[in-house]
Structure 1
Amino acid sequence: MLLEIPPKMSVSSFMGYLNGKSSLMIYEQFGELKFKYRNREFWCRGYYVDMVGKNKTEIQDYIKHQL
């Protein structure tokens, strides 16, 4: 996933928002997962963040052709 966040927003607050919203969307679409993940911890702890810089096009191509 390649994302761009505003400079004023911290990475940790953005990731918390992303994890929370995406979990809610997944639980809405796949309600049976609520019973499998009762504590609502759908995602694993942790994440990796790095700056893209000049390699943005190459990274986009890599992500696009992963699957």
Structure 2
Amino acid sequence: MINDNQSLSHTKWNCKYHIVFAPKYRRQEVYGKIKSDIG
């Protein structure tokens, strides 16, 4: 089994973030859809 935890000398972490690049005009379109889904 693969262990996906990252570590340095004093710390360990497991990063679950997903970064997406979205240009300004596209971001507004996507956020509008998310806001309408949330309510």
Q: TM-score range by the shorter chain?
A: 0.3 to 0.5
Instruction: Specify which structure has the higher proportion of helix.
Output: 1
Instruction: Specify which structure has the higher proportion of strand.
Output: 2
Structure number, greater radius of gyration: 2
TM-score by length of 1: 0.28
TM-score by length of 2: 0.40
Return the structure number with greater relative CO, CA threshold 8 A, min gap 6: 1
